Amino acid sequence: MKTWLLRIILMLQLTGLIGLYSYHLHIEKTAKTYLIKCEPVDPRDLLSGDYISLRYEISTLPERFQELDYKNQDVYITLQPSGPVWEVQNVGKVPPGGGMPYLKGQGNGREITYGIERYYVPEGKGKNVPNNLYAQIAIQPGGTAQLKRLYSDGNPWPK
């Protein structure tokens, strides 16, 4: 194979990796952040290392939405402040307008997943997980969330 072709392939791969990194860094630095109450579910996986599987308060639809039942559909959750954290204000099948913060999730019955349910921690730190966790998330335009950091008692966790 020609050397110039290998160089082009290598440059395309490096450009793709740098672009992906830049995209996520841009979201983390510029997107507005929200604090969501969560709780740990499963702290360890032997193949993946230490991580925390999270369940958010906004992952289960509140009782006032009991008539709604989404099965493998995209759903949009509008958020409203409730003290220091944000909670579900409304649920719909189309993105809301008016500049309201919202998340895009995948409905499965009354449970909604957002793609931010795993948080990897340094080796050995996933054993003693506090129960009072809060997740700081950044929301991109379009409602896609990115998990930035976990907090416990107002301090970043893990230390």
Tell me, yes or no, whether 67 and 2 share the same domain.
no
What pLDDT shows up at residue 66?
66
Cα(64)–Cα(140) distance, rounded to whole angstroms?
27
Task: Dig out the tokens for 49 from the structure.
Answer: 């290392």
Residues 6+ apart with CB under 8 A from 57: 36, 37, 38, 85, 87
Tell me, yes or no, whether 6 and 61 share the same domain.
no
Of the candidates 114, 106, 119, the one whose C-alpha atom is nearest the C-alpha of residue 148 is 119
Cα(146)–Cα(137) distance, rounded to whole angstroms?
6
What pLDDT shows up at residue 44?
57
pLDDT tens digit string along 22-59? 988 888 788 888 889 988 876 555 666 678 888 899 98
Tell me, yes or no, whether 25 and 82 share the same domain.
no
- The residues of the chain scoring below 50 in pLDDT are none
Tell me, yes or no, whether 26 and 36 share the same domain.
no
Cα(62)–Cα(17) distance, rounded to whole angstroms?
40
Tell me, yes or no, whether 106 and 52 share the same domain.
yes
Region for 124 from its dihedrals, namely left if φ exceeds 0, alpha if ψ lies in -120 to 50, beta otherwise: left
Whole-structure pTM value = 0.75
Cα(156)–Cα(159) distance, rounded to whole angstroms?
6
Domain that holds residue 130: 32-157
What pLDDT shows up at residue 21?
92
Tell me, yes or no, whether 101 and 124 share the same domain.
yes
Tell me, yes or no, whether 5 and 54 share the same domain.
no
Peptide bond preceding 122: is omega within 30 degrees of 0, i.e. cis? no
